[in-house]
Amino acid sequence: MKIITYNVNGIRAAVKKGFIDWMRAVDADIVCLQEIKSTPEQIDHSPVKDLGYETYWHPAVKKGYSGVAVFTRIKPKNVCVGCGIEKYDNEGRVIRVDFEDFSLMNTYMPSGSSGEHRQAFKMMWLEDFFNYISEIKKDFPSLIVCGDFNICHKPIDIHNPKSNANSSGFLPEEREWMSKFFDSGFIDTFRYFNQEPHNYTWWSYRAGARVKNLGWRIDYHAATEKMAARLKRTVILKEALYSDHCPVLLEII
């Protein structure tokens, strides 16, 4: 089974760039999208349905902002939209789909790069999300949490750790949270298979950062330890150019 996570930075813009053709080529079973910046009514669903997907959406209340969606060829037995905390659900940050033998949570974690207010919001989210996910995995022990975490965990995950030491997304307190998250019973599935440097999932649009591979690894598939035996591979699909992020593919058995 192939599962993709992808921050598309606006699904309507991605579709105009050929995103549907890419979906057809990659042929994933489940595609989890973040920062869709759209409501379901704002796109034509027929090309996606023609590929065999059912779609589940959690758009933000604010138009053209945030939001997550799951496209799946495997019919879920249950879909849970939101996390039950209004200030986050208004921003369309969480959707969970439950299948017969595992659950998949798609999340778009806040960025704090726009200023102190949003950084404070991000830190509040991290605390609340940790408490939330700790309870969820009690009920759903076979769980994958994927999406844009907006945090690089370790120096290997960012092109210049020294100059970014005080940057949102690589702050000590954010990185400590990532360690706490993984130590609580989750596997960073990419690092489970690959310990090589220079593997990134997001690049600034400025100064030719993507061509130079001056990036950050902030998009993850995190699997509970109970899922370890089912992990087959995790690959960053850096050739996909429909966003400032690139997709990450997780394959499970």
Q: Are 28 and 243 in contact (CB under 8 A)?
A: no
List the end-to-end C-alpha distance of the chain, in Å, as a whole number: 6
Residue 44: active-site member:
no
For residues 146 and 125, what is the distance between their CA atoms, to the nearest angstrom? 16
* Residue 63: how many other CB atoms lie within 10 Å: 11
**Which tokens is 79 given?**
């879909």
C-alpha span between 79 and 89 (Å, rounded): 15
Task: Indicate which residue of 98, 148, 157, 188 is catalytic.
Answer: 148
The CA-atom distances, in angstroms, between 102 and each of 98, 129, 223 are: 6, 20, 10
Catalytic residue list: 148
